Structure 1
């Protein structure tokens, strides 16, 4: 029987040669964000005209590879589970596919064969002595794909942290290995302005010591984080771990001591941050990386008492419906984990979910609090789920409120320049 080192040597190849395992019409599953393997995807881009009908499914592509191109989309085509800067143009132009989903359910879609998973391309840590690699940067739906795929190709990178949790793949599960030492992509904290800071303060004031946090990406969630440094015994159960959370650990605000699910442990499904964050993740017993059907499942996440979710939206109407992922019919991002964690916080004993957004857009010319969602808008979080909505002008609590009460609460936190118009429109709809 071969040793794990012998298996490794036998499966090691270069990126171009690894592509020989591909077949026309394959669906390639790639992890979230910085877990994407640049050598493999770069080689795929260079040789993309060799195939027909290959799709690359991923949440939040970070680099704009050559296959993000309309002229060769019939050969290799991106299938977005969530749009970002690299894929948004293709989504709006119609030459990148879009697969609607809840982040928590993507592993189930794969397991049940509702979403194909023929091939996995993923970045992984170096192999340990027992023959395991860690998919620490993007555990998400990739672990489900590894169990289902015909071909698993890992891009082994010594800069990838070996994290704890349900994120390990054994050499026996791997078809081919490609070695690469490209530094992991680093993503800085977003800029925080006065509006974001004001919204952050409203939310931070409502977060109690001992709460467990889910924090999305963006200027407003990070503005909340920056105002939590004086809190005590916070816990983390989130989808994304970033540098904002790392700051709370370093200042002592996050201890995880009072968590009611996995006390003493931070839980996440993907990482997006700096080299310092990735170093922090390596062999850290405080942190566990789990698939998204664990981290984002509302029933599981809601077992954390005092769970607080903080997520951004683009538009909220007077019933509380959130359009968080499109600008009218044009896709902008995706559902991600917003609905998962809003529902989890609603289940949690003492939980609170916050939908945060500036009151206006386009330099104050457009209200983000609107009578009804703009026609074509992709509705994200429903009126039945929304708890708190926060702008720089205050907090609206919607759960348990009538349509009229909701309209009153939301108009009160709209920009003053638009409150009169909103009242008129609410009267026309007989909800004011």
Structure 2
């Protein structure tokens, strides 16, 4: 049944927000920017206090998180994107450590209230359904649990399939906006990133089901897969890098056990080519994050190959992908979800890929993690580690064996120092391990 829509202004719509409310924003390219601006204007006018904002990674200005809004809005994000990273580091915002797969549970299990969900959707079809487009993730759960749902109807939001459809009867207030979605364009990988990409690609088998994020290293990996066959995609997000492989037939999902022939994601970010690609495309399923990132669902597909990143790894295999020292970096995200899922997939491979050094030339393979560093992936979860200098598998290896393997793919200028640190930590037996590993 079609549900009649009455549009209102952003200023009128956000009047439903009360002091102390918890507000969810849809993610990445789908942030309802006109509602954010109207809500922030109410805060500037002194009409609101202590409003809690929740979201995953978002693009665009986070006007509610600037220092001047302290005491008016409190950002407690589930993932710290670049637009709120500095403000979080300065202590004007915070984040909630949570596996990406469980962000939806925070609402569905009543751990966090959702008083108002502010979302952006496609234009309604003739049956009265709109699509969440590029941002299903935890937004679907927020819509289900919110006291009030405000939707910006935008003709630029793609009509994606999967779990993205909601009926207009589930929406309380409608606002119209035709601003194009924010795009993200990624630079071509440099020589170092291409070397990492080649080392990762060498581990990817025909028929593998891929998970990888966005950025230079994922794009470098994807660029090396042109001769592969029957790859699938089950991931939390993807960007433009997959499109050439879909167009050439390399990605076809033929070897997947669940969602066979389909690409599965929960949110995405890229150029308009990606948004156009998923529009009315039944070959792409935008699913609830409780599905895409559930390790036990992930593991049902064979040869799941998950490629994630790290800030540091210590000689025992502990991976920091969250924070260094007391500085918040991004949040837990979906790394553990997919490492756990891939490691339990038949023929699966869990990979963490990173440059061996930072932009300042400091080794990212270290004797011990920086004080206060956030351990995202434990030494018990870690499997493959890849740098530009090679790939090693730590699974089933002792702590001393791990140290030797990691040193072998560290920056050559750092290896002697790392070797001394390993000797101090593990004692004379370290030299036996060194010869046993053939290093």
**Length-normalised TM-score, structure 1:** 0.96
1:184 aligned to which of 181, 184, 190: 181
CA distance in 2 between counterparts of 1:32 and 1:227 reads 30
Q: Is the 8 A contact 1:34 1:272 kept in 2?
A: yes
Partners in 2 of 1:115 and 1:219 — Cα distance?
35
Secondary structure at the residue paired with 1:86? Answer: helix
Could you tell me which residue of structure 1 aligns to residue 33 of structure 2? 38
Contact 1:190 1:222 in 2 (8 A): no
Per-residue CA distance 1:325-379 (angstroms, 9 max, x = gap): 2122201111111110000101100000110111111332x11000111111011
**Aligned equivalent of 1:422, options 418, 430, 434:** 418
- 3-state SS in 2 of match to 1:104: helix
Report the secondary structure of 2:195's partner residue: helix
Instruction: Tell me the secondary structure at the aligned position of residue 157 of structure 2.
Output: coil
2:283 aligns to what?
286
The alignment yields a C-alpha RMSD, in angstroms, of 1.2
Contact 2:60–2:182 at 8 Å: present in 1 too?
no
> Which residue, out of 206, 218, 222, partners 1:221?
218
- 1: CA distance between counterparts of 2:350 and 2:233? 14
Superposition map of 1:3-152 within 5 A: 4-6=2-4, 8-9=5-6, 12-49=7-44, 50-152=47-149
- The alpha-carbon deviation at position 270 of structure 1 amounts to 0.3
Aligned counterparts of 2:222 and 2:43: Cα–Cα separation in 1: 42
Match of 2:437 in 1: none
Deviation at 1:16, TM superposition (A): 0.7
- Residue 270 (structure 2) pairs with residue 273 (structure 1): yes
Q: How does 1:406-421 map to 2 (within 5 A)?
A: 406-421=402-417
Q: CA deviation at 1:265?
A: 0.8
Aligned residue number for residue 389 of structure 1? 385
Specify the SS of the correspondent of 1:278: helix
- Aligned partner of 1:346 in structure 2 is 343
Deviation at 1:245, TM superposition (A): 1.4
* Matched positions, count: 426
Tell me, in whole angstroms, the C-alpha distance in 2 between the residues paired with 1:116 and 1:293: 18
Residue 77 (structure 1) shift: 2.4
**Cα deviations across residues 168-203 of structure 1 (Å, max 9, x unaligned)?**
111111110111000010111244111110010001
SS in 2 for 1:344: helix
1:359-404, Cα deviation, whole Å (9 max, x unpaired)? 111332x110001111110111111111100010111100000001
CA positional deviation for 1:108: 1.1
1:73 Cα deviation from its structure 2 partner: 2.0
SS of the equivalent of 2:426 reads coil
1:375 alignment partner in structure 2: 371
SS in 2 for 1:350: coil
Which ranges of structure 1 fall in alignment gaps of 5 or more residues?
none
| C-alpha separation in 1, matches of 2:28 and 2:143 | 17
Contact 1:360 1:368 in 2 (8 A): yes
Between 296-305 and 79-88, the greater mean CA deviation after superposition: 79-88
Q: Is residue 154 of structure 1 aligned with residue 151 of structure 2?
A: yes
The match for 1:300 is 297
Question: Are the aligned partners of 2:37 and 2:63 in contact in 1 as well (CA < 8 Å)?
Answer: yes
Alignment partner of 1:273: what SS?
coil
Superposed displacement of residue 5, structure 1: 4.5
- Paired residue for 2:360, among 363, 374, 390? 363
- Distance (whole Å) between structure 1 residues aligned to residue 21 and residue 245 of structure 2: 42
- The 2-side partners of 1:157 and 1:263 are apart by 31
Task: Report what 1:194 is aligned to.
Answer: 191
Q: Give yes or no for contact 1:218–1:312 (8 Å, CA) kept in 2.
A: no
Equivalent position SS for 2:350: strand
Under a length normalisation based on structure 2, what TM-score does the superposition of the two structures give?
0.95
The equivalent residue for 2:434 is: none
Q: Which runs of 5+ in 2 are unaligned?
A: 431-439
Structure 1: 4+ residue segments shifted above 4 A: none
